[in-house]
Amino acid sequence: MPARITVSLSPTLVAMLDDSLLRERFAKRLEEMEALGEQERFRTGWLGEFKEAAEFHADRVDQLARLYREIGGDIAGAFAELAKSGVVELITTAATHALLPFLLDQPGSLRAQIVTGVNSFRRRFGFKPAGFWVPECAFAPALETALKAGGVRWFVLETHGLNAAEPRPPFSPLTPALTPGGIGVVARDPESAQQVWSREVGYPGDPAYREFYRDVGFDLDLDYVEPCLPAPKVRGFTGFKYHRVTGSTNEKQPYRRAEAMATVQRHAEHFITARLRQLDAARNAGCAAPLVTAPYDAELFGHWWFEGPEFLDAVARTAAKEGRLKLVTPTDHLQSAPELPVVQPAASSWGEGGDWRLWLNSSNAWIQEELLAADRAMTRIVATCVAADELVERALRQMTRELLLAQASDWPFMQRTGTNSDFARGQVELRLSRFRSLETMLSTKRLNSAAITAIEAETPIFAGTLADPAVWIRG
């Protein structure tokens, strides 16, 4: 099919996909699920519609296990093959998905986040990405210099980041633009976002789709499902879910796969029809080359919305059959579009309020205070270790790792929402504690090789792709 999709693979995700321990654990997990599938085939043999749902889930797990074995457990490598074939365009993001506007007064950290992200991608996939997912779509005009220095050719903004640009591009957000420095900018289309993502009117809430929260891990006897639970005697999700959304009450009807797939096709056709109407209206108004940019969190497809991957497939097939709508990547469009307007995008994000309040408020401000202090300490230490020996360099690299991990935007987000907030606090405190331990070693010139080795073993991420700590004292 003539379909192109952009996929952002973060450095941390790729590191996990390539981690030998996690691969072993996932292979074991698949074996556990295959065993549960066989048990469920037998248990539901006389349970009518639940038997149909159980058969589907058991077959699906078997297919996934075969696919995982066929690709040798190399999921990132499978994406690389798709990129080589031209099916997808792969892009990257900051090293640990840090909120980049918060690092504007910490230029070393800002450079390290971008350089490490790009380096990690290039080492794994063999080429430099054109696109860069700006974490949380969080942008400030002063970021452009660092993005351009990192080789970024284009990035995605939240809608108002382009609508409020100076000057506002004509037909925004359906027309890309260039920043003053020449970086391409595309903005999220709110109409297509609402149809897919909205909890109230979006497709995933359709009664025919699979209900996320009903799972045999909670519905069946504990002893029966325990081998597939995340921890002994702790109930959790197994992935075997036999009910559909049905409605807003707790009463749920059995999941019917055929009905769900028919609904997927109906929604895909609705989505394509809506996009054609939208594009036709833009062209009739004088827009020469409109582009609907529809970015989504990947966790929506398959996780929250179980049928989401099938929806994407149906959208691509429906578009190919219809013939008037072309699926392209931003790189494709920017290369072929007519002359683009030059604008200054506005400060923005796709978080609460369209600004950065979700990541900086009374519940999590302490994190930014600690990170700023750590950045200042990093700058001081690097400046005093110019002529470093091997052990000093290892300590500096490990300080870089710990600081980057502490800067992840997940931690203040979790503090604000109260979701696993203790875990988030613990992660920030752990990373900064290790950072300060290494700082003390370097400042007192009492390096403990065994201690450094132990910390390295705990956090081996970004091996060979980490930004040179010298970015804290030079661009």
Q: What is the pLDDT along the chain (475 residues), one digit of tens a residue?
A: 778 999 999 999 999 999 999 999 999 999 999 999 999 999 999 998 899 999 999 999 999 999 999 999 999 999 999 999 999 999 999 999 999 999 999 999 999 999 999 999 999 999 999 999 999 999 999 999 999 999 999 999 999 999 999 999 999 999 999 999 999 999 999 999 999 988 778 999 999 999 999 999 999 999 999 999 988 889 999 999 999 999 988 899 999 999 999 999 999 999 999 999 999 999 999 998 999 999 999 999 999 999 999 999 999 999 999 999 999 999 999 998 878 999 999 999 999 999 999 999 999 999 999 999 999 999 999 999 866 789 999 999 999 999 999 999 999 999 999 999 999 999 999 999 999 999 999 999 999 999 999 999 999 899 999 999 999 998 6
The verdict on 295 and 330 lying in the same domain is yes
Which residues on adjacent β-strands are paired with residue 8?
A: 91
Neighbours of 190 (CB within 10 A): 14
Residue 451 domain-assigned (yes or no): yes
**Interatomic CA distance for residues 38 and 63, integer angstroms:** 13
Residue 337 domain-assigned (yes or no): yes
Q: Please state the pTM of the whole predicted model.
A: 0.94
Identity of the amino acid at 123: R
Residue 228 domain-assigned (yes or no): no
Residue 173 domain-assigned (yes or no): no
The verdict on 274 and 306 lying in the same domain is yes
Residue 119 domain-assigned (yes or no): yes
**Interatomic CA distance for residues 183 and 105, integer angstroms:** 22
Neighbours of 355 (CB within 10 A): 16
The verdict on 115 and 81 lying in the same domain is no
The verdict on 259 and 327 lying in the same domain is yes
If one counts the domains in the chain, the total is: 3
Residue after which a domain boundary falls, among 85, 118, 151: 85
**Interatomic CA distance for residues 402 and 395, integer angstroms:** 11
Is the distance from CB of 193 to CB of 376 less than 8 angstroms? no
Length of the chain: 475
The verdict on 24 and 101 lying in the same domain is no
The percent helix, strand, coil of the chain (3-state, each to 5) is: 55, 10, 35
Residue 311 domain-assigned (yes or no): yes
**Interatomic CA distance for residues 417 and 178, integer angstroms:** 35
Q: What is the CATH number of the domain that holds 470?
A: 1.20.1430.10
The verdict on 445 and 401 lying in the same domain is yes
The verdict on 318 and 452 lying in the same domain is no
**Interatomic CA distance for residues 279 and 293, integer angstroms:** 12
**Interatomic CA distance for residues 455 and 436, integer angstroms:** 12
Residue 172 domain-assigned (yes or no): no
The verdict on 196 and 313 lying in the same domain is yes
The verdict on 346 and 378 lying in the same domain is no
Residue 154 domain-assigned (yes or no): no
The verdict on 348 and 411 lying in the same domain is no
The pair phi, psi for residue 231, each rounded to 5°, is -155, 150
The verdict on 295 and 311 lying in the same domain is yes
* Domain that includes residue 319, residue range: 192-216+250-353
